[in-house]
Structure 1
Amino acid sequence: MVLSLRSVTKRYQTAEGPLTVLNTVDLDLAAGQSLALTGESGSGKSTLLHLAGALDAPDEGEVTVAGHRLSGLNDSSRAEVRRTRVGIIFQQYNLVPSLTVAANLSFHARLAGRRDVGWEKVLANHLGLTALLERYPEQLSGGQQQRVAIGRTLAARPPLILADEPTGNLDEANGDTVMTLLLDLVRETGAALLMVTHSARLAAMLDRHVVLTGGRIQP
């Protein structure tokens, strides 16, 4: 399993007392699988994504990413997991505005110490970015920027990809195109994909779909 959550519980302190956002959640995701996570606003989707990405820690339970039990890691080791084992695609593209498309594509791979120029060329070709490599983010459309964000994440070949509403800023046609490209590339790399979305239509494009309700996973 690339991602495993076992009896994961997460609480936040509020003025009214502790609020349980995730309640003894179990979840497994294997290499090459894609999983859509849906649920109402405030249901804990983003919290689960942050725990899976080693951006936060559960109050109870265990999160394992690519064989690394996160509870046993110090801050430096957790940062290493984030850098080398996890790729995150945001709704906001978060490209570096001062870098060209080519430099944005290689950014995460350089940080992870596994840059592969040949793979970057393959990604650029698949994502329709070959003619845009010398442009800057401000010169791109929203759909083009999201393609760069996907390529930047996949360039480092992370075993786990987390996507938070990756097509939320795109119209339906562009969103479907970007989603198809993402799924094709995930299958090609053998990565595991966990995607948070509000769209049942997009969720249906993935291998599995679970709903988060009341802090618990509903299959």
Structure 2
Amino acid sequence: MVLQLRGVTKTYETGDGPLPVLRGVDLGLNAGETLALTGESGSGKSTLLHLVGGLDTPDAGTIEVAGANVGAMGDEARAALRRGTVGVVFQQFNLIPALDVAANLSFQARLAGHDEPAHWVDLAERLGLTPFLRRYPEQLSGGQQQRVAIGRALAARPRLLLADEPTGNLDETTADAVLTLMLDLVRESDTALLMVTHSDRVAERMARRIHLRLGKVA
């Protein structure tokens, strides 16, 4: 099992007092499995994704990624987790504007110690990016930028890929094409995929679906 959550809770302090966001979440995800995380705004989806990615820590419960307890890690260990074991794709593409497509694709791989040009060149070809390797993010369409973001995350050969509304900024046709490529690449690499989405169409293409309601699995 690549991802295991047991009794995960998270509360934030606000001007109006404590705000419970997650109230004891349990879930598991195996290698090569795809899971859609759905729920209304404010249900805790993005918070859960941030906790799994080590961008925040839970108040209680355990989060294990590839057998490592994320909540018990220090900042340096969690950063190392994101460099190699966990890949992240956001709705906002978060590409490095000063780097061309080739450098964006190879950057994360080098950080993870997986500087394998043949791998990211193959990813670029699979994602239809080969003609654009020397272009910069501002010279690409939204769909092309999201393909670069997916390729960059997978170039590091992560065990787990986290995706937060990765096709939310794309038109329906482009979103379908990008999602198909992502699912194909995840399946071939045996990477586990946890995707936050508001779209029923997107969720239906995942192997499983979990719905969060008021911080709990409904």
TM-score range, shorter chain: over 0.9
How many aligned positions are there?
Answer: 218
**Aligned residue identity for 1:65:** V
Q: Which amino acid aligns with 1:175?
A: A
State the Cα distance separating 1:2 from its structure 2 match.
0.8
Tell me the TM-score normalised to structure 1 length.
0.97
User: Which residue of structure 2 lines up, in the alignment, with residue 81 of structure 1?
Assistant: 81
Between the aligned partners of 2:74 and 2:105, the Cα distance in structure 1 is: 29
Instruction: Say which is worse superposed, 77-86 or 60-69, in terms of deviation.
Output: 77-86
> 1-side partners of 2:211 and 2:90: how far apart?
20
- Aligned: 1:57 with 2:57: yes
Aligned to 1:175: 175
Q: Which range moves more in the overlay, 202-211 or 77-86?
A: 77-86
Query: Unaligned 5+ residue runs, structure 2?
Result: none
Which residue of structure 2 lines up, in the alignment, with residue 14 of structure 1?
A: 14
Q: What code does the residue aligned with 2:80 have?
A: E
Work out the percentage of aligned pairs sharing the same amino acid. Answer: 63
Across the aligned residues of Structure 1 and Structure 2, the Cα RMSD in angstroms comes to 0.8
TM-superposed deviation, 1:71:
2.9
Counterpart-to-counterpart distance in 2, 1:53 and 1:198: 20
Separation in 2, partners of 1:75, 1:139: 35
CA distance in 1, matches of 2:211, 2:35: 11
Cα deviation, 1:141-182, whole Å, max 9, x if unaligned, reads: 110110011000000010010000000110000000000000
Instruction: Give the Cα separation in 1 of the matches to 2:168 and 2:96.
Output: 20
Aligned to 1:26: 26
Q: Distance in 1 between matches of 2:19 and 2:138?
A: 41
Distance 2:17 2:142 in 1: 41
Q: How many angstroms does 1:18 deviate by?
A: 1.2
Q: Does 1:191 align with 2:205?
A: no
Aligned to 1:118: 118
- Range with bigger deviation, 155-164 or 115-124: 115-124
Partner residue in 2 for 1:45 = 45
Equivalents in 1 of 2:53, 2:75: separation in Å?
13
User: How far apart are residue 72 of structure 1 and its match?
Assistant: 2.7
- Residue number in structure 2 paired with 1:109: 109
Q: What SS does structure 2 have at the residue aligned with 1:7?
A: strand
SS of match in other structure, 1:58: coil
Q: Using the alignment, how far apart are the partners of 2:82 and 2:42 within structure 1?
A: 24
Q: Name the amino acid aligned to 2:194.
A: L
Any stretches of 5+ residues in structure 1 without a counterpart? Answer: none
Amino acid at match of 1:132: F
Letter in structure 2 aligned against 1:135:
R
